[in-house]
């Protein structure tokens, strides 16, 4: 299947740095809403999480997947994403989000995943890792059963290096607009991840070993330090190389900032959203 045709080549680049879990998800939704109104161009946003946090997919149950007592005790955040997928521990990573109207990036979910993955593949290769698309199904060489963790298995058109997942992404569509965001692993602490997820303690060592066989951070794969800033430079370069996108550096607009504050207060910072069944 051919990738979707990208119909808008001039994008805004927002490097927003580090924020807490509720703010990060609120900013992504705010950009999506304001872009849907035609007030801002397609946007690539790069960010990190402080404090580190667990996010769950829209359809997951927080209490069933995440050990909230462990998160609170260790000082980590938690949030429900507006996108689907499984749990992610946003720790040592670069997170990206892409917001673009469906008319500017037509095609199915898988087609648009594949188009955007082209930019991610080019970016990871610029960092020195031979990234490739995982394909439509988890790699059968990896075997085993999936856990609640996103990086347990590569999904359609996600990135692997040597069969191990390095980027996990999720997508949602609303108001005729695509929001896709994902994690570029710089490092992976599998033991800490499974301390924060609800896993039978007797099964935890096997789960840790299983995840390490399926996923890895770029620092392990490349055998060198890969900084957040280095990865943040590579991402837009990769999108330019693979998709022909021209980036204009920008900031959030006043409308996006106001909506972010509103969404933190009414949604992503509330137990009603994060803990709902």
Query: Across the strands, what pairs with 173?
Result: 178
3-state secondary structure of 24: helix
Any idea which residue has 């109207």 for tokens?
101
Active site residues per annotation: 150
Token pair recorded at residue 88: 């992610």
Q: Exposed (0-12), middle (13-18) or buried (19+): which is 108, by Cβ within 10 Å?
A: exposed
For residue 151, give the nearest of 163, 261, 140 by alpha carbon. 163
At 123, phi and psi to the nearest 5?
-65, -45
Q: How many CA atoms lie within 13 A of 96 on its CB side?
A: 27
Per the rule left: phi > 0, alpha: psi between -120 and 50, beta: everything else, 79 is beta
Closest alpha carbon to 23 in 230, 250, 252: 252
Residue 215 is classified by DSSP as B
Tokens representing 110? Answer: 């898988």
Cα R_g (the chain), whole angstroms: 18
Give burial (CB, 10 Å; 0-12/13-18/19+) of 5. Answer: exposed
């Amino acid at each position: 299947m051919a990738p979707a045709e990208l119909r808008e080549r001039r994008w805004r680049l927002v490097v927003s740095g580090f924020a807490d879990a509720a703010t990060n998800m609120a900013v992504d939704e705010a950009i999506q809403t304001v872009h849907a109104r035609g007030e801002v161009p397609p946007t690539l946003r790069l960010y990190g999480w402080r404090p580190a946090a667990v996010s769950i997919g829209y359809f997951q149950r927080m209490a069933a997947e995440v050990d909230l007592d462990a998160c609170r005790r260790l000082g980590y955040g938690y949030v429900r994403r507006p996108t689907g997928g499984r749990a992610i521990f946003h720790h040592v990573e670069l997170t990206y989000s892409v917001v673009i109207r469906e008319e500017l990036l037509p095609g199915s979910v898988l087609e648009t995943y594949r188009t955007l993955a082209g930019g991610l593949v080019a970016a990871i290769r610029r960092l020195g890792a031979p990234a490739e698309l995982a394909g439509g199904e988890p790699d059968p060489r990896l075997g085993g059963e999936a856990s609640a963790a996103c990086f347990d298995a590569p999904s359609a058109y996600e990135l692997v290096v040597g069969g191990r997942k390095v980027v996990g992404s999720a997508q949602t569509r609303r108001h005729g607009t695509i929001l896709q965001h994902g994690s570029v692993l710089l490092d992976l602490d599998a033991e800490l991840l499974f301390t924060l997820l609800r896993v039978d303690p007797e099964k935890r060592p096997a789960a840790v070993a299983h995840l390490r066989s399926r996923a890895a951070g770029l620092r392990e794969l490349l055998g060198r330090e890969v900084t957040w800033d280095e990865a943040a430079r590579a991402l837009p370069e990769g999108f330019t190389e693979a998709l022909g996108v021209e980036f204009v550096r920008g900031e959030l607009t006043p409308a996006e900032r106001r909506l972010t504050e509103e969404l933190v207060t009414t949604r992503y910072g509330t137990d009603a959203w994060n803990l709902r069944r």
